[in-house]
Amino acid sequence: MDTEIVLGLGGTVDYEIDWDESRLDELIRWYGIQPSELSRQLPIESERDLVRTLAAFIADGVGGERFVASSDIVEQFASRFERRITLGGTCVRAAIALDRLGLASTVHLVSIDDHVRRLLPPSVSVICSAAHDSTDPHLIVQYPAGASLRVGDQLYRARHPNRIIYTNDPPNRSLVISPDLPAVVATAELFLVSGFNTIQSKAVLEARLDSVVEAIGRIPETGLVVYEDAGYHLPEYTEPVRRRLLGAVHLWSMNEDELQHYLGRSVDLLDAEDVRWALVDVRRAFPGPALVVHTRHWSAVQAPDAGRWAAAVQGGITMASTRYLHGDDWSDADYRATSLLPRQEDAVTLADALHAASGDELLVVPAFELLTDTPTTIGLGDSFAGGLIEALSRETRR
């Protein structure tokens, strides 16, 4: 019997914006935004605020996720650009990736509409807690390496590609859990958990954690639970999630932005000493489950049996890399071709140095050398999760 895969906890409808420097420069001039006004953290209560934060992300050369006061702000900004409507959310993008490799799954959704029904693959079964249809789009702006914006007398240029997400999504903010989830998890071999990051009420968060921990408790003894971290709209809510889930999941996964958030400092991802101490420090904060950190240069797993997770980490890297190169339009042949690409030389050197210093409880897998003029930076962490789950599923079926 095929492995049962359950992916939660909420999906999204995304507006993917084509990068247009001239249009953004026009908006910056029109709103009279100055360098001193740039901030990634200010409340987003108008389109002007959104543009200020967007320029700040570009200036800092990073990605992230931010809450906006109204979906009307998202609609106003998105109407000025060419856009594509796609499906997002970790569980949904992971399910789509699994479908490309011939694996069926069940997703838990908290909202649904005709976009979801039209775009979700037939192999994906759905349980949904929503009582009616609704659409609350997520705005995703992805920028390429070399993207530049002029703010006042300053020119900011990004060294690496990345993406910024803006959202006001009441269903995902409430994250109502379907009463069907425990019964579905009770027959699962793999359960992917993600999605607490948009909640903005401590009482709601604790109630949803209660429901999910209860569902996790129903998984068969041989089942595995994976948690994929995310950028929290209220950073202080990471603590109750960590406290409740560390003892309940088998593998905890985060990206480089989340790593640096937990550490409260930046990390040079190609400096062996800086990376070593970053991994040591984050492991102190996340004891227990296998801990995976995935970055654009390497992915690492820390566990007493780190080698056990090697294939899973490699699956995540290959899936995310395939999406980076091909976007939504990739095939099984593209996935196989990606797996044969050379590794980043600097990452190989770093991995060798870390293995020599750290022993069997740390495994570092160098990323592929990815060359494309049209990279996709949207959904890479979601694709990593999908690739990791696919590899674990293959191991389970052996």
Domain of 286, CATH number, reads 3.40.1190.20
pLDDT (tens digit per residue) in 108-156: 999 999 999 999 999 999 999 999 999 899 999 999 989 999 999 999 9
Whether 28 is in a domain gets the answer: yes
Please identify, among 151, 167, 183, the residue that sits at the C-terminal boundary of a domain.
167
Whether 245 is in a domain gets the answer: no
d(C-alpha 42, C-alpha 348), whole Å: 39
Give residue 3's pLDDT: 54
Whether 362 is in a domain gets the answer: yes
Q: Are residues 255 and 394 in the same domain?
A: yes
Q: Are residues 256 and 383 in the same domain?
A: yes
Q: Are residues 254 and 163 in the same domain?
A: no
pLDDT at 245 over 90: yes
Distances (CA, A) of 9 to 127, 208, 293: 10, 10, 21
CA-nearest of 33, 121, 37, 138 to 85 is: 138
Three-state DSSP state, 138: strand
Give residue 111's pLDDT: 97
Q: Are residues 141 and 269 in the same domain?
A: no
Q: Are residues 148 and 285 in the same domain?
A: no
Whether 387 is in a domain gets the answer: yes
- 77: domain CATH number is 3.30.1110.20
d(C-alpha 14, C-alpha 328), whole Å: 13
Please identify, among 117, 144, 167, the residue that sits at the C-terminal boundary of a domain.
167
Q: Which range marks the domain in which residue 57 is found?
A: 15-85+135-167
pLDDT at 267 over 70: yes
Whether 202 is in a domain gets the answer: no
Whether 106 is in a domain gets the answer: no
Whether 128 is in a domain gets the answer: no
pLDDT (tens digit per residue) in 8-64: 999 999 999 988 999 999 999 999 999 999 999 899 999 999 999 999 999 998 888
Do you find a cis peptide bond into 245, omega within 30 degrees of 0?
Answer: no
d(C-alpha 139, C-alpha 148), whole Å: 20
Whether 398 is in a domain gets the answer: yes
User: Which residue(s) pair with 301 in the sheet?
Assistant: 292, 363
Number of domains in the chain: 2
